[in-house]
Amino acid sequence: MPEAQSPTIALEQEGAKGRYIARIEGISEPAELTFSIVNDHMIIADHTGVPDAMRGLGVGKALVERLVEDSRRKEVRIVPLCPYVKAQSLKHPEWSDVIQS
């Protein structure tokens, strides 16, 4: 297993769909968090996928944290349809300003 290191996270968006891609040097397969744009003020976090090689490195949480940061900046609310995003939101009440309950 690679040493723990911070992933590089990039945003890809096309139309009403988007995803955050996390990469770690030395691991070929990226992790992702996908979302759908409902309107200018709301998105749905659909899915978080982390390859086995990245499990336990905090990559999934880093993806959700980036989603929360960007949503705050854009004044967008997140509907946590993805079970992982939902679970993280319950552990972080400080995100309630952007998580749609």
Tens digits of per-residue pLDDT, 73-92?
Answer: 999 999 999 999 999 999 99
Residue-level pLDDT at 4: 59
Name the 3-class secondary structure at 83: helix
Residue-level pLDDT at 101: 83
- For domain 8-95, the CATH class is alpha beta
Per-residue pLDDT, averaged over 14-18, amounts to 97
Closest listed residue to residue 4, CA positions, set 47, 49, 61: 61
6-9 long-range CB contacts below 8 Å, 24 or more apart? 6/62, 7/31, 7/54, 7/57, 7/59, 7/62, 7/63, 9/62, 9/63, 9/66
Domain boundary assignment for the chain:
8-95
Per-residue pLDDT, averaged over 18-22, amounts to 98
Indicate if the pLDDT at residue 3 is higher than 60.
no
Average pLDDT of the chain is 95
Q: Write out pLDDT tens, residues 40-51.
A: 999 999 999 999
